[in-house]
Structures are given as C-alpha cells and as structure tokens.
Amino acid sequence: MRISAKCGLLLACVLAAVLAATAQAQSSGSIDFQMTQVGQNRTATATFTNTGVTSVSVVGIGFESGSAVSPPFAVTDVPTLPWTLAGGERIVFTVRFAPTAPGTFTDAVVITVRAGFPFVQTIQRTIALTGQGVGAAMDWPGGDQPDGTEAQDLTGVGNRLDAIEGELDELREAIENLGWLFGQMAEDLTAKLDELATQLDTVMVTVEEERDAAEETTSDASTREVSLTAKVVSIEGDEVEVLLPGETEWIEPEPGMELAEGTKISTGRDTSITVRFDEPLIEDQAVMRFGSMSNAKIDKFLFRPESEGRSGAVTTRVRMKYGSMRARITETTAGPLGMPSLKVATPALGAGVTGTTFSMSYDAASGGSVAEIFEGSMEVHRYAEVPLDLWELTPPDCLVVVETVTISGDGLGNGQRATVTADGVLLIEDLTDMDPAEWLFPEDEPEL
C-alpha cells in the first residue's frame, strides 16, 4: 500500500491536532410531553452535540438502569454504539412517552461519552423528561374508597432522604477535588503538546512555502485553483441544519444560501435539502438532494482555469457519513490528473462520476452501502475498512481503494446496483424495473 507524501504529512498534522484538543459535549436540556391520553403515545426528537474540536465516543444512550426502556418512557432510533462524533457533529434519536395510567411521570435520558488522551474520561449528560398521563376518572366499587388507604406518616422517610442528600454532597466534594487533580495533570500535558504542535506548525509552514514557490515557477497566478460555493435550491421539512466552515453553531439554511468548502449538512426525520453545484464558465452543473436522517460534508468544490495542455475543470468532493443522496450531473470534463470531476464517498463505498443520474446510501448501523445508477455510467470503489474518525479526516482521494467496478444505466428503466455488504463484499446486480418518475427532481429546481 502506497501513501503519498502529502497524505502522510496531513495524517501527522491530524494526529497532533487530535492530541492537543479538548473535548466538550452538549445535549438538549429537557423534554416536556405535557398531557398525553392513557393508551396513546407521543414522540420527540433529542440531539446530542459534540461542541469541542476533537472526537468523542458515545458509548451509551438510555436510562440510569442501562436499558433503553424505563416505562412509560423509551429511547428509539439510536445508532449502533459506540459511535464516534467529530467536533461540531451530533447524534439525533427519538424519545417516546406512552403512559398506561394517569399521573405525572419524570425520568432522564443518560448519555455517556468517553473522551480525552492519554487520560480517558467518562462524561455523562442528561436530558430531563416530564409527561402527564390523563384519562377518565376512576370509580371505586360501591362508591367509597377501600379501607387501608389512609395517609401514612412519612417523617422517617424524609429524615432518611435528608441523610442521603448529605452523603451525596460529601461525594460531590470528593469528586470535585479529584477533578481538580486531573485538571492540573491535564494542563501540564497540554502545555507539552502545545509546544510539539508549535514545532509541527513551523514545519508545515515551511513545506507550504516551498510548495507555493514551486507552483509560482511552473504556473501563472491566473491558472491557480479558485474555491467555489454551492447554493441551497430547496428545503423540505423543519429539521435541516448546516454547519458553515469556521463556525461552531448549527443554523437553519434558506434557499439561495451559499455553502463553501467544509460545510456540513444534517437532516432529520422526513426532511431533505437540495443543493446545486455549478460553474457557468465551462457549463459544469450538478444537483444533489440529501434525504432524511443524513449527514454529509462538502469536502472540496473548486475551479481550475484553463492552462497549457489542459482545459478548465471543476473538482467536487462530497463525503456522506450516513444517510442517502440522489444526484443528477451534466457531462463534465475530467478533473486534475484525469480523475473524475465529482466523487462521492461513504465509509464503505465511493463513486467517481462524469455525467450521470445516480443515488448512494450508507447504513451506519449495518455498515452496508448501496449505489444505484439510472442513466450514464460511473466507477464504484470499495474502500479498505478504517476507523470512522480516521475516515472523516482523510481526503476522499487518499482513501485506499480495494476493488473497482463500472455500472451503467440507459435512462429508460434499465440500470445497475452496486452493494457493499456489512462483511465487505461488493455485489453487482442488474435492475430492469426502475421507474423514471422516481428519478425526477421538483419542477421548481433548475433544468440541467
């Protein structure tokens, strides 16, 4: 296996950055289901966001008992754990309230994460739950409340609770003291790592300066790469957010918003967002729709002007951590070094595209990935398995390709599907009943 000097240097820089960073985490504070009829249920979407700059590992989402069910509450739609969250990313799951009797109920979802190096810390965040079950008034047989239900003296119980609260206060103080000790050790280690990171930065700056000098001797300034921005075309549903490069807060996008390189896209249940990539100078165009429960990132979108011996070209790289997308691409020119101008990568599968209509999906729970083509042709690559946090930090062009096949479709209902199974097997099958209507984009989107 060969790894280029550029990719190797990038990996060294990434590892140093991971060691020097500090993890933080944030969850939605509380959920109030209010009044719910007995025998019915209500659901709410909960989120957990890594607000730090380094990855954390989510190892548990459930209740204090360790179970995902604590009647009348339950947690569903939880990804397979442990789950790695890079800085700024989040997990979305569902909480259900289904009372079987009248009354007020409270509980809390406990989210457990592990972070830190070399001293791994376990951190817990909670989401408070409240709900009220309501139903018809209960009638006692004979009209009177049965004997033996008189109020009992709870004075002894109250005294015991006070004693327990005192013991908990002492335990909290001991934990705080221990945290201070670890904090001092972490400060010393951080200072040393900062010194090493500074030295690495100096080396990186020197390498960048030498590279820039080499480019200036072989290329005019007018032929250098120019970063482009994609635009939001349409949004369906309410749970769509984007994280712009350099920002830490997710925001709701609007049609016409520009999305630069490094933008992350997240969709919730029953939502989608359509994004347009185009460069009028050479008539390169692409429209991508990201489906519900998807997480993707625009890794690269740039234009390389025409230069001696090479026509102008657009290079687009999209990384999809999980979920699904569908795209329509016009006939495009080849990118630098003859590579496809557009490439979409999931943790298991990638596709190099030069003019086609296709779809891709990745199931994070099973690890399986699927690519379908309706019209045109494209190369499909099966990647070597790597840890998810390392996959997120590796450029798509530096991922190790284990196997490559070409699939095609005629645009009339005959196409092909490439599937990477959970155990890493690449399968190809012919499709003869593809419905052209399912591959059309909304009429309000631009014609390509």
Instruction: Return all residues near 161 (Cβ < 8 A) that are at least 6 apart.
Output: none
Q: What is the mean pLDDT of residues 222-227?
A: 65
Give CA angle at 422 (421, 426), nearest 5°.
25
Superfamily for domain range 5-135: Immunoglobulins (2.60.40.10)
> Given this model, what pLDDT does residue 149 score?
38
Task: Give the count of beta carbons closer than 10 Å to the beta carbon of residue 15.
Answer: 13
CA atoms within 13 A on the CB side of 62: 13
pTM score of the predicted model: 0.50
CA 373, CA 361: separation in Å to the nearest integer?
12
pLDDT score of 405:
92
Point out the least confidently predicted range of 5-9, 61-65, 231-235, 317-321: 5-9
Q: Is 46 helix (H, G, I), strand (E, B) or coil?
A: strand
CB 354 within 8 A of CB 342: yes
DSSP label of 310? B
Q: How much is the pLDDT for 441?
A: 66
Distance CA 301, CA 303 (A): 7
Which residues belong to CATH 2.60.120.1440 in the chain? 223-439
Q: Judge contact between 53 and 22, C-beta under 8 A.
A: yes
Indicate if the pLDDT at residue 297 is higher than 50. Answer: yes
Q: What pLDDT does 75 receive?
A: 96
Distance separating the N- and C-terminal Cα atoms of the chain: 40
With a CB cutoff of 8 Å and minimum separation 6, the contacts of 45 are 92, 93, 94, 95, 239, 268, 269
Secondary structure (3-state) at 156: helix
CATH architecture of 223-439: Sandwich (2.60)
Q: What is the pLDDT of residues 239-288, one digit of tens each?
A: 999 999 999 999 999 999 999 989 999 999 999 999 988 755 555 578 88
Higher pLDDT, 318 or 135: 318
Please answer whether residues 30 and 128 qualify as being in contact, where contact means their C-beta atoms are separated by less than 8 angstroms: yes
User: Residues 366-397: pLDDT tens digits?
Assistant: 888 999 999 888 889 998 888 888 888 888 77
* Closest CA relative to residue 244, chosen from 255, 234, 230: 230
Q: Given this model, what pLDDT does residue 20 score? A: 34
Q: Record the tokens describing residue 42, joined without a space.
A: 């209500």
Extract the tokens encoding 350: 């990638």
Q: What is the pLDDT of residues 99-149, one digit of tens each?
A: 999 999 999 999 999 887 667 788 888 999 999 999 854 433 444 434 433
- In tens, the pLDDT along 21-78 reads 333 445 558 999 989 999 999 999 999 888 887 888 999 999 988 899 999 999 999 9
Q: Which of 239-243, 303-307, 399-403 has the highest mean pLDDT?
A: 239-243
Cβ-contact 133, 71 below 8 angstroms: no
DSSP symbol at 3: -
Q: Which of 74, 137, 129 is nearest to 102 (CA)?
A: 137
Identify which has the larger pLDDT, 132 or 352.
Answer: 132
Domain with CATH 2.60.40.10 in the chain: 5-135
For position 442, what pLDDT does the model report?
A: 57
pLDDT tens column, 174-198: 888 788 778 777 777 787 788 777 8
| pLDDT value at 11 more than 60 | no
pLDDT at 394: 81
